[in-house]
Amino acid sequence: MSHAAEILSQGIRRVLISQMVLTLLTAGAALVLLGSAAALAAFYGGGVALISTWLLGRRVSRTPETVKQNDAVNQLALYAGVLPRFIVTLALLAAGLGWLKLAPIPLIVAFGLAQLGFVINLASARQRPG
């Protein structure tokens, strides 16, 4: 794995950890405020965000090994991974809301808050020297 890919993989790991913490906090708050059904929905919503980030990490880690021509081809390979991630995310959210009949508000709120893991890590990366 190249140095750039290793740095990206470390970033993805940090995002996943942030998302796990945010998901657990959101599910805990839902449990205390709204009950166990809301906590389950919040946990599911955060889990969908985690799966989406994990898929991104897989794509990032595989791209440098499979495509070695140039930066434009590497970017194209990364963009090609967006559509499957989007479809998986939509399918999981639809399954949680439609098939599993989970509470929509805690599910969507937890999904959104877990996505803040990217923002948190972006802010912390800008503060780090180097």
How confident is the model at residue 24, as a pLDDT? 97
For CA atoms 82, 53, 77, 126, give the dihedral sign. positive
CA distance 15 to 120: 8
Per-residue pLDDT at 68 exceeds 80: no
More confident residue, 119 or 60: 119
Contact 45, 110 (CB under 8 A): yes
pLDDT tens digits along 8-51: 778 888 999 999 999 999 999 999 999 999 999 999 999 999 99
Token reading at 73: 């081809």
User: Which pair of tokens denotes residue 121?
Assistant: 């890590």
The values of phi and psi at residue 69, to 5°, are -75, -70
pTM (two decimals): 0.83
